Structure 1
Amino acid sequence: MKFKNNFTCLLLLLPAIFFAQTKTTITIENNSVLDRKETVVPIEWKMILNSFPKIDTANFVVLNPKTKKQVAYQLEHKTSSNIQNLLVQVDVKAKSKVTLLLQNGKPEKFVAKTYARYVPERKDDFAWESDKIAFRAYGKALEGTNENAYGFDVWVKSTPNLVVNERYKRNDYHVDHGDGMDYYNVGYSLGAGSMAPFVNDTVRYSANYHAWKVLDNGPLRSTFQLKYDTWNAGGVKVSAIKTISIDAGSQLNRVENVYTFDGDKPLPVVVGIVRRTTAGTISLNEQQGILAYWEPTSPKDGTTAVGSILTTPVASMWVDKLQLLAKTSVKSNETIVYYTGAAWDKAGIITNAKKWIEYLEKFNEEIKNPLLISVK
């Protein structure tokens, strides 16, 4: 009789065990007063495994239970060979939640919305993009040439399609062929929001990056590292590794810098945006850590907007003859995170200075109010 009771209990448990191994529910909650649109949400992979330990990483789908349609996703590795996060892109209205179902199945092939690559055919460029905007950084091969520049470059876009490969293939990216172009002038500045040490009231530029590594590459987030060899920053020997990621739907990059130098004293650093000689719209918000610049309009090429958001306390912001600057500080071998990016009025989304500043302010609020995730 005892054996029969135990066998009956086992039979009753089997459906629950089977369910736990074949599907799980993800709830994404937005407690803020801001609607979240096209947001890439990271869900810790260990949370997935706790609920769905037998998941086959090559054969699962994420479904919207209301529409019955698959939701685009990505397995994010960062610097590890193991999966760190499941990334999904969703819209979540203010004070509401979205529920997704993760289960066994054959995933669709999702359209890539981000991309990053080393470009050896163009003097060691490194280029990256989202479906909104594109950028590049300059490598060792450009040093000592009359084309050299220090900071981040912007490639404006008027299409959600990925354009980097096609533009390099055409070798004519300074002309708008209907999808945008490169008309942003970086020069010897921090360009579109790069960071550098600021020692003795002087920006201490490094050489260009000398090593690179792609960590993740779409469809929803692309992440890579650029390594900068040791340089003399006003008497301080400094080296740096910059980890940059861009999400689908975003105008801004997340930049994670690690500076290495001797001593325990914090190193002053600045984020900078190159300014033009003619009038534009400048906004310096020290309290919120937001630099915003709506460049003067080019009659032919339109208007580029550039902005940066610091997540560490800002000591000061100012404008000099060359660029907009925001000063903060960092300790050796400690990560400092900020966001920087751009927009183009001809894309038809952000079409004036007011909308650009509002975009940056909303982005800043989203950083401060992360979405809440539960998996069961």
Structure 2
Amino acid sequence: MYKKLKKIKSPFLILAASYLVLSGCSVENTSTSKPNKSYDKEVKAYAKFVPKRQDDFAWENDKVAFRVYGPAAPLKGHASGVDAWLKKVDYSIIDKWYEETFNQTGSYHTDTGEGYDPYHVGISRGVGGSAIWVDGKDYTAHNYKSYKIHENGPEKVVFTLEYEFQTPLGRVNESKTISLPMGSNLYQVNSVFKLDGKPAALPIAIGITTHDGKATVAHSKSAGRISAWEEFDAKALGTGVIIEPKKVKDIKHISKETKDESHIWLFTNSEENGSLEYYAGFAWEAAGEITTQTQWQSYLDNFNK
């Protein structure tokens, strides 16, 4: 856990810093630039911890935006899956959308020209969340326990989220480092898994929610790809995961009656040192660049080529 705090001069900031320590989150190295309070449409890669919104952690570039739930999120109805914020502008929207929602001058669930968040995550894996897979069941963390930002734009964001959860195999820790450069629709994951405190080769499932079967799924073991295609308000959204093909153990589309539990899964293993690398992300038709399922699958299959 990261607890080193920057020097605090006012009572208000002392209270804010105390809250961060209690929530298990770091404020060290949180940004290389000040938040864009004027919302001057700065084009940049950007990441932000948002304690005012139940410890959300959000990140974006000129193409896509994502968020995950934090320690303050309620136990019921939330988990460690990855949410997609659909944007059709290249400039940064995270600060603006949160502040408009906080101030009740707008809502990131309504598209007023920049994009919006119609994507439901709940307890699903969302866009590329991982799980430990044991005897046909996924075991996941509720949400991250702490974070640390290593690089915060403008050309790239890099940060680490720490997870801890219990499985039938024992206590699992995942140190998940995520990076997102400008120009990419996919974020990169470099995780290290530990079992009962030691790096371990573990059975991993990486999931894309099908929103209770509403999405059309596709996959290619030879390309190391799973993908989904669905519509929100008559505009298509493609989501996907890619991994080095030789690391694919299996791919399955599993539908369940319980809400948020239907996914297309890519099965793999962490290495003996606990490491695992893959990419995940999305493309939205309204952004005007990738507008068909064929284009989306081609983007994924050729991403590392």
Q: TM-score range by the shorter chain?
A: 0.7 to 0.9
Unaligned runs of 5+ in 2: 1-28, 30-41, 102-106, 256-261
SS at 2:204 equivalent: strand
CA distance in 2, matches of 1:132, 1:359: 14
2:45 to 98, 106, 114: 114
Partner of 2:284: 344
Deviation at 1:219, TM superposition (A): 1.1
Alignment deviations for residues 310-365 of structure 1 (CA, whole Å, 9 cap, x no partner): 12511100100100000000145432110000111000111010110011112032
Question: What is the CA distance between 1:145 and its match in structure 2?
Answer: 4.3
Give the 3 Å change call, closer, same or farther, for CA 280–196 of structure 1 in structure 2.
closer
- Identity fraction in percent: 35
Give the distance between the partners of 2:138 and 2:151, measured in 1 at CA: 31
8 Å CA contact retained: 2:200, 2:273: no
1:357 corresponds to 2:290: no
The aligned residue for residue 98 of structure 2 is: 168
Q: 8 Å contact 2:148–2:159 — kept in the other structure?
A: yes
SS at match of 1:166: helix
Where does residue 302 of structure 1 map in the other structure?
235
Structure 2 CA distance for partners of 1:349 and 1:328, relative to 1, 3 Å: same
Report the equivalent of 2:263.
323
1:154 to 68, 72, 84: 84
Aligned equivalents of 1:259, 1:144: Cα separation in 2: 23
State the match for 1:126 in structure 2: 57
Contact 1:199–1:234 (Cα < 8 Å) also in 2? yes
CA deviation after TM superposition for structure 1 residue 266, in Å: 2.5
1:56-110 Cα deviation digits (max 9, x unpaired):
xxxxxxxxxxxxxxxxxxxxxxxxx9xxxxxxxxxxxxxxxxxxxxxxxxxxxxx
Contact 1:143 1:208 in 2 (8 A): no
1:207-258 Cα offsets, whole Å, 9 max, x none, are 21010111001111101110112x2112321111100010100000000111
Give the structure-1-normalised TM-score. Answer: 0.64
TM-score scaled by structure 2? Answer: 0.78
Structure 1 residues 127 and 264: alpha-carbon distance in aligned structure 2, compared to 1, 3 A threshold: closer
Separation of aligned partners in 2, 1:248 and 1:319: 31
Rate the CA distance shift 1:235–1:345 in 2: closer, same or farther, 3 A: same
Please give the root-mean-square deviation of Cα atoms over the aligned residues, in Å: 1.8
**Aligned twin of 1:198:** 133
Taking the aligned partners of 2:172 and 2:275, their CA distance within structure 1 comes to 14
Give 2:176's aligned amino acid: K
Q: Distance in 1 between matches of 2:296 and 2:59?
A: 21
Structure 2 SS opposite 1:227? strand
Structure 1 stretches of 5 or more lacking a match?
1-80, 82-110, 366-376
User: Alignment length, in residue pairs?
Assistant: 252
5 Å matches for 1:23-42? none
Per-residue CA deviations over 1:8-66 (Å, capped at 9, x if unaligned) read xxxxxxxxxxxxxxxxxxxxxxxxxxxxxxxxxxxxxxxxxxxxxxxxxxxxxxxxxxx
